[in-house]
């Protein structure tokens, strides 16, 4: 009976870490996407301002 309990505990722990890994990957993708979007916005603003001056 103890072996089954240990097996269940290890399964739950592995599931917990797998969920954390996926959540971390998704969070990193979102952060990188927002950073790229911010950079594109800054460069687009500069480009539009530069075109208006000419």
Number of domain units in the chain = 1
d(C-alpha 16, C-alpha 10), whole Å: 10
pLDDT at 54 (0 to 100):
67
d(C-alpha 34, C-alpha 12), whole Å: 33
Radius of gyration, alpha carbons of the chain: 23
The pTM (predicted TM-score) of the whole model is: 0.64
What are 22's two structure tokens?
Answer: 């996926």
Residue 5 lies in a domain: no
pLDDT digits (tens, 9 = 90+) for 9-37: 999 999 999 999 999 999 999 999 999 99
Residue 1 lies in a domain: no
Residue 46 lies in a domain: yes
Domain around 38: 25-54
Residue 33 lies in a domain: yes
């Amino acid at each position: 009976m103890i072996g089954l309990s240990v097996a269940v505990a290890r399964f739950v722990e592995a599931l917990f870490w797998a969920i954390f890994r996926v959540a971390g990957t998704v969070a990193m993708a979102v952060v990188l996407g927002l950073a790229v979007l911010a950079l594109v916005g800054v460069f687009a603003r500069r480009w539009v301002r530069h075109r208006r001056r000419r």
